[in-house]
Amino acid sequence: MADQTPPQPAAIQPTSDDALHRRGLMFILSSPSGAGKTTIARRLLAEDADLTVSVSATTRPIRPGEVDGEDYHFVDQATFNHMVDANEFYEWARVFGNCYGTPKGQIRAGLKAGTDFLFDIDWQGTQQLHQKAQADVVRVFILPPSLDELRRRLVGRGTDSAEVIAARMARAQAEISHWDSYDYVVVNDEVEVCLGKVRQILAAERMRRTRQTGLIDFVRGLMQG
């Protein structure tokens, strides 16, 4: 088992080349399984140096090839319970017997420094995160073009049995019912088009006036001549 010390805030330096400082944001991508969320997330992370993935804490055992602090913060159940009791998570959930949570410390430091965090979480985690950090959260839901196409994509993976696919399809319909809890909804009919729309959302949200914390001093300087 890895070191049980809860993850501590790290010094994160802003990576943006913008002349004016801005506060970072928490960029959430949600979708039913098979709708393309993971592909979009990987492309965004590969292409955008100012975007970093949120690293969750988990009680599940570390797997071969995983790195503590990069893939997850691996902790035991007692440590996780302590973090819950100390209100150290933005959101947490138990999934298939293991606990997963988003630690507040490092993200708070990163947001202040202008770092943007990408979250790949479901609607329940999104709801928790929005309740605790509403001003910093941008919620994007990705829809499949149709349920038939979603089923085709799941079958095309060749990794799940017919029973598992049926369960995923049932869950997908339940997840889709929460589409109106999101700020943006994008249909992933073609991945490049969908990715382009998600990029536009991210770019616009970065320029939101309330996040441009350097504007006050800049405008004050303009007014003083």
Mean pLDDT along residues 132-159: 92
> Phi and psi for 160 in degrees, rounded to 5?
-120, 150
Whether 198 is in a domain gets the answer yes
Q: How far apart are CA 15 and CA 221, in angstroms?
A: 24
Tell whether 7 is covered by a domain: no
User: pLDDT tens-digit profile of 26-52?
Assistant: 999 999 988 989 899 999 999 999 999
Structure confidence at residue 122 (pLDDT): 87
Examine residue 175 and state whether it is found in any structural domain, yes or no.
Answer: yes
User: 91 in helix, strand or coil?
Assistant: strand
Q: What is the mean pLDDT of residues 115-123?
A: 92
Question: CA end-to-end span of the chain, whole Å?
Answer: 60
Would 95 be classed as within a structural domain? no
Task: Give the chain's length.
Answer: 225
Which range (14-23, 142-151, 161-170) has the least confidence?
14-23
> Torsion over CA of 81, 85, 90 and 94, rounded to 10 degrees?
30
- CA distances 171 to 127, 156, 168, 176, 182, Å, are 17, 18, 5, 9, 18
**Residue 81 in 3-state DSSP?**
helix
Q: Name the band, by pLDDT with cuts 50, 70 and 90, for residue 10.
A: very low
Kindly state whether residue 2 falls inside one of the protein's structural domains.
no
Contacts of 74 (CB under 8 A, 6+ apart): 1, 2, 57, 58, 59, 60, 61, 62, 68
Residue numbers of the domain that contains 40 = 26-54+114-223
On whether the pTM is more than 0.85, the answer is: no
For the chain, the helix, strand and coil percentages under 3-state DSSP, each to the nearest 5: 45, 20, 35
Asked if residue 120 is part of any domain, the answer here is yes
* DSSP-derived secondary structure letter, 50: T
CATH assignment at residue 150: 3.40.50.300
Indicate whether 102 belongs to any domain: no
Radius of gyration of the chain (CA): 19
Would 166 be classed as within a structural domain? Answer: yes
Q: What domain count does the chain have? A: 1
